[in-house]
Amino acid sequence: MKSIWKLAVTGTIALFPHHVAHAQDDRCARIDEPSARLACYDRQSGRTAPDSRPIPLPAPASAASAVTIDGYQDHHDALKSRTDFDSRLKTAILLRHGYYRLELEDGTAYNTTTVGPPPSVGAEIHVRRTPFGTTFFDLEGRKPLTVRLSRRQ
């Protein structure tokens, strides 16, 4: 008997919102033009009219900006194409979990890919890039350090 009573109450609650929706004033539903009907519903819900000013479009990219973008890409590709050179360590910045960003005196920056202590600032470093693209820092008296060119140049 209790389950029948629960079913009746649940059914009544489920059907009640439909009756309330049909009992509402449907002035907006009688409007044929879609934009006017939407405006009517917006007024009923209390929404205000949106700002109708046109959105300014950005200026098209000029040839000078394209040269700058290509210049950056050319600079980045030139840094990647260097295979063997010597430099000194300018700074070693701790990133997280034992990884470091190593900046050289020539302005290039590399992130370590193996966890370990960084070389000391001012240390002489031989940068070696293999044909497969792996970059190593060769240090005197230490195993080579695996690094990759940092995105922050």
Q: pLDDT tens digits, residue range 99-140?
A: 999 999 988 899 999 898 888 999 999 999 888 888 999 998
How far lies 125's CA from each of 56, 115, 129, 146, in Å?
52, 18, 13, 12
**Partner residues linked to 102 by β-bridges:** 92, 110
Note the pLDDT of residue 44.
82
Whether pLDDT at 61 is above 50: yes
Between CA 137 and CA 108 the distance in angstroms is 13
Between CA 95 and CA 115 the distance in angstroms is 11
Name the more confident of 45 and 64. Answer: 45
Q: What's the whole-model pTM score?
A: 0.49
Note the pLDDT of residue 124.
93
Note the pLDDT of residue 23.
45
Name the more confident of 7 and 76. Answer: 7
Between CA 85 and CA 106 the distance in angstroms is 11
Between CA 150 and CA 101 the distance in angstroms is 8
Structure tokens at 116: 């370990």
Among 147, 71, 146, which residue's Cα sits nearest to residue 108? 147
- AA identity, residue 69: I
**Across all residues in the chain, what is the average pLDDT?**
78
Percent of the chain with pLDDT over 90: 22
Structure tokens at 32: 């044929």
